[in-house]
Amino acid sequence: MNDAQALTWGDVADRLRSLRKLGLPMAMRIEARDAQPITIHVAADAYHWADDAGNTPLPEGPLQVRVRTLGLADRPLEVRTGTLGALLWRIGMVAFAHSAAPWMVPGERYRMVAWPNLTEVDATTEQVQLCALFGSAALDLDDVAGAVGVDRQVAVTLVSTLSLTGSIEPDPTAPVRKLKGGFGSGPRSLFRMIRERFGA
Amino acid sequence: MKQSPSIHLNEVVVEAAAASLQQLSEQARSLKYAVVITDDGFELAHWPTSKSASNTMASMVSSIQALSEAVARELAMGNSKYVVLAVDEGQMVQLRVQGHHIVVGAVFDALENLGVALRLSTMAAESLGSAIPTDLELVTGEDR
Amino acid sequence: MLIAGPMGSGKTTAVQSLSEIPVVSTEAHNNDRAQADKLTTTVALDYGEITLSPEHKLRMYGVPGQRRFSFMWKILQERAEGLLLLVHNDAPDPVPTVLEYLEDFQDLIQRGAVAIGVTRMELLPRPTIPMYVEALRAAYPNITIPVFSVDAREAGQLQKVLVALVAAVEATAMVGAANEGARR
């Protein structure tokens, strides 16, 4: 994989997805102007970014990316800023804020196979609801967005981000299910009560 | 003071527990089953010895004791003195060996008078408490 | 809601962190210091509450971790809406431990009413969350069980886990209703 210049976060997401699929001990270094570099050790599920306070906004592009294979002489990341999943979430939210990931198939039904680590990522309540539905069955994007009462793009961004982290999969064989709206909004909904209680 | 963190592994205490249950069985023909346990549900001794130890019984006695003491605390009515569970075929009495992390539980048949069951169980707990060497375990208010 | 898990995983702490009332606890002197080096252990339950509305309260029950108290797990799960299973990452073999504990809560799993909280990851980051997820997927291929890292002392984190758990329960019910609708 070649190093490249002047990339967007969408480009970075695409490359990261490919690297993760390879399953090899690879490192990626992302550089941006006026920011410390972000180093990712893909197989170690870790990244280091000196600027990061946990929710520091990602630097703006254009980005430079260098990728290399880690050898036996390479030491593990000395300082782990956080888990790779948490960083991928943030990359996905930026990269796919207004469009779908290029590998998404329109009209597909998706099933979430792993929750994002909600104590590490900044997820909205609507995103939690979307995750809960996609985690229960393979569902259509529009159907889920309607059930939660959010714009379609919100669901697109979430599904694109979860696909970057390998947490959601298409399931074309799943039966078609039609959800009724109003998830978590009924007068007896425990979710509504908890949401209101915690100000979520 | 010597500390004894695992009471149920202390031979002196285990023997004293067995002896107190044997004495209880001789005083009460109505006794069907009895056990001496640690606060956290480990058995020190049971009667009749011909039956195998029941881990479930030890754990349940522990839970019931803790729940009863929690209720007494919440009601702010002092300490739990004993617990009685009356069922169709008899009654179970349990109480703490005062000053120790040990509980005695005894099951009597339906013919036994509750007052007698309580008195004999209390005597068993008191005699066991007296038999535990005073330098074996330090139980402070903070520890409780 | 039940909070279960092995001894030393932070169950009592979690109930204390979440509860609005002083927790009613049933702590006893711990004679099993080999399993967990702490002075006391829960032998019946820890009880805490969160007020949701003037008419509704969420009751939380922390159950004892030792298997000899599993009869309490059975009693308390009969009325449970959900289960938060805590495991501490510095325990020996925490991933198999999670799978072992889950065997006692199959009904809640089927209802989508279980979440896993991994505590003490700041002390020991491995196994990682993806490792837990992989093991759970192998054991329960048709159910997505949430797994989160969590500090049992942090109410904010526990609240996020609670919101997710309840969302999962209602989502499962919603999908079930959709399946029923499709069958008719």
Q: What is the mean pLDDT of residues C77-103?
A: 95
Name the H helices within chain C: 11-18, 70-77, 94-102, 106-110, 129-139, 155-183
pLDDT at C78 over 90: no
Residue B140: per-residue pLDDT: 33
Q: Which residues contact B76 (CB under 8 A, 6 or more apart)?
A: none
Q: What is the mean pLDDT of residues B88-99?
A: 95
Which subunits count as partners of chain A given 3+ CB pairs below 8 Å? C
Residue B51's pLDDT band, with cuts at 50, 70 and 90, is confident
Residue C21, chain A, CB below 8 Å: the answer is: no
Which of C26, C49, C70, C75 is the best residue to mutate to test the B interface, defined by the most B CB atoms within 10 Å of its own CB? Answer: C26
pLDDT at A161 over 70: yes
pLDDT at B53 over 50: yes
* Residue pointed to by tokens 């299973």: C85
Residue B117: per-residue pLDDT: 97
Q: What is the mean pLDDT of residues B91-105?
A: 96
Which of A128, A133, A136 is the best residue to mutate to test the C interface, defined by the most C CB atoms within 10 Å of its own CB? Answer: A136
Residue A130's pLDDT band, with cuts at 50, 70 and 90, is very high
Q: What is the pTM for the complete model shown?
A: 0.88
| CA A124, chain centre distance (Å) | 13
Q: How many domains does chain C divide into?
A: 1
Contact: B38, C26; criterion CB under 8 Å: no
Inter-residue contact B107 to B32 (CB < 8 Å): yes
Residue A180, chain C, CB below 8 Å: the answer is: yes
Residue A116: per-residue pLDDT: 97
pLDDT at C99 over 60: yes
User: For chain B, which residues lie within 8 Å of any Cβ of chain C, measuring from their own Cβ?
Assistant: 5-9, 38-42, 55-56, 58-60, 62-67, 69-70, 74, 101, 143
User: For chain C, which residues lie within 8 Å of any Cβ of chain B, measuring from their own Cβ?
Assistant: 24-33, 39, 41, 43-45, 64, 66, 68-69, 71-72
Structure tokens at C78: 């009969």
| C149 closest CB neighbour out of A120, A128, A177 | A120
Cis bond upstream, residue C127 (ω within 30): yes
Q: What is the mean pLDDT of residues C160-184?
A: 90
Question: Which is it for the CA torsion A94, C159, A187, C105, positive or negative?
Answer: positive
* B58 membership: H or E segment, kind and range: helix B55-75
Q: What is the mean pLDDT of residues A101-129?
A: 94
Q: What is the mean pLDDT of residues A45-64?
A: 89
B52 vs B59, which has greater pLDDT? B59
Of all residues in chain C, the percent with pLDDT exceeding 90 is: 83
CA-based nearest residue to A46, from A11, A92, A79: A79
pLDDT at C182 over 80: no
| A129 closest CB neighbour out of C128, C159, C167 | C167
Residue A78: per-residue pLDDT: 67
Contact: C25, B70; criterion CB under 8 Å: yes
Q: What is the mean pLDDT of residues B80-97?
A: 96
Residue A177: per-residue pLDDT: 81
Contact: A180, C144; criterion CB under 8 Å: no
Residue B136's pLDDT band, with cuts at 50, 70 and 90, is low
Q: What is the mean pLDDT of residues C61-74?
A: 93
Contact: C71, B60; criterion CB under 8 Å: yes
Q: What is the mean pLDDT of residues B94-123?
A: 96
A98 vs B144, which has greater pLDDT? A98
Contact: B40, C26; criterion CB under 8 Å: no
Residue A111's pLDDT band, with cuts at 50, 70 and 90, is very high
pLDDT at B43 over 60: yes
pLDDT at A1 over 80: no
Residue A6's pLDDT band, with cuts at 50, 70 and 90, is confident
> Reduced to 3 states, what is the DSSP secondary structure of residue C120?
coil
Which tens digit of pLDDT belongs to each residue from A30-43? Answer: 999 989 999 998 88
Residue A114, chain C, CB below 8 Å: the answer is: yes
Residue B5: per-residue pLDDT: 57
Residue B11: per-residue pLDDT: 92
* B86 membership: H or E segment, kind and range: strand B83-87
Average pLDDT across chain A, whole number:
90
Q: State the Cα–Cα distance between residues C27 and B38, nearest whole angstrom.
A: 12
pLDDT at A157 over 60: yes
Q: What is the mean pLDDT of residues C6-35?
A: 93
Chains B–C, number of C-beta pairs less than 8 Å apart:
69
Of all residues in chain B, the percent with pLDDT exceeding 70 is: 90
Residue C172, chain A, CB below 8 Å: the answer is: yes
CA C8 to chain B, closest CA, distance in angstroms equals 15
Q: What is the mean pLDDT of residues A138-144?
A: 94
Residue A174, chain C, CB below 8 Å: the answer is: no
Q: Is C180 exposed, middle or buried (0-12, 13-18, 19+ CB in 10 A)?
A: exposed
Residue A185: per-residue pLDDT: 79
Q: State the Cα–Cα distance between residues C46 and C88, nearest whole angstrom.
A: 18
| C129 closest CB neighbour out of A117, A136, A175 | A117
Which tens digit of pLDDT belongs to each residue from A56-90? Answer: 899 998 999 999 888 877 777 767 788 889 999 99
Among B128-142, C22-36, C152-166, top mean pLDDT goes to C152-166
Q: Which domain holds residue C159?
A: 2-183
Average pLDDT across chain C, whole number:
93
Using a CB-CB cut-off of 8 Å, the residues of chain B touching C68 are 41, 55-56, 58-59
CATH number at residue C36: 3.40.50.300
| C26 closest CB neighbour out of B9, B70, B143 | B70
Q: What is the mean pLDDT of residues C163-172?
A: 94
- What is the total residue count of chain B? 144
Of all residues in chain A, the percent with pLDDT exceeding 70 is: 97
